[in-house]
Structure 1
Amino acid sequence: MKRPFVKTDPARWQCTFQTNVFGTFLCCQAAFAHMAISEGGMGGSIVNVSSLAAVSGSPNEYVDYAASKGAIDTFSKGFAKEVADDRIRVNVVRPGFIYTDMHKDGGEVDRVNRLAPSIPMKRRGQPEEVAEAILWLLSNKASYTSGTFIDVAGGR
């Protein structure tokens, strides 16, 4: 639900960080254990999903969510450098306003349509467009790409 940060319940912050930040940390540790050449793996690619909110801060709407995604950005940059010798690439995709149930679950079903005029491309994104960016980063075509970000946000 849209609200300023000062009116956001601390329980929400904890849930948001538990899911977005600590969930990502745990997944990356597990992936490392299977992928790292120092652990008997063959290397690999990790793509974390952040949000363009990490850049904008999402004022008066979702500052806690934006902060959690900013943590993912910072973590991913550092983790990419830590695991490069183990032939693991770590990148981030930051979606913008994409048609998903997240907006409905947040209490504003029409949020993406409301904000569409502020997007340079004047349209909302589709989940498939985010998936295509992730697939490219996972592919061998992105074999020299690590520690970077792809914003899938219509130019925003």
Structure 2
Amino acid sequence: MAWIIWLAVAVALGIAELFTLTFVLLMIGAGAAAASLAAALGSPVELQGLVFVVVSVLSLIGIRPWAKKLRDNRSGPDAKIGLQALEGAEALVLERVDSQHGLIKVQGQEWTARSYDGKQVLEQGEEVNIVEIRGATAMVWRQP
């Protein structure tokens, strides 16, 4: 029965890793999986705990740096993904943008937009830069 609990913990940590992408929870999950194997082989609880700690620590020290380096080499240390990729992008004003209203088109998608400093008024057809994303709104600035 203890092996099922360890296995459930390993799976939960693996799923949680999908949201963090730091490889920490995955390495601890590997420790829980090893403890599950130890429990299935009939080891006492103390040995299961020891296996969990040893495998988790060794994974964090030995495997995590390698896995992180491999991931960074594929995406680059400065690679932007998700909403971060929109920051700094150029966009076209579709509807007048001011501090209260606005609509832009960026990378083929329409986004609500507001003037970044709240004072600029950007007219339809102007090119703008996205300074940041706040929620579902792009904060924009007139291109120089």
Q: TM-score range by the shorter chain?
A: under 0.3
Task: Specify which structure has the higher proportion of strand.
Answer: 2
Q: Greater RCO between the two (CA within 8 Å, min separation 6)?
A: 1
- Please report the TM-score for the alignment, with normalisation by the length of structure 1: 0.26
TM-score normalised over the length of structure 2:
0.27
Quick check: which has more Rg, 1 or 2?
A: 2
More helix by share: 1
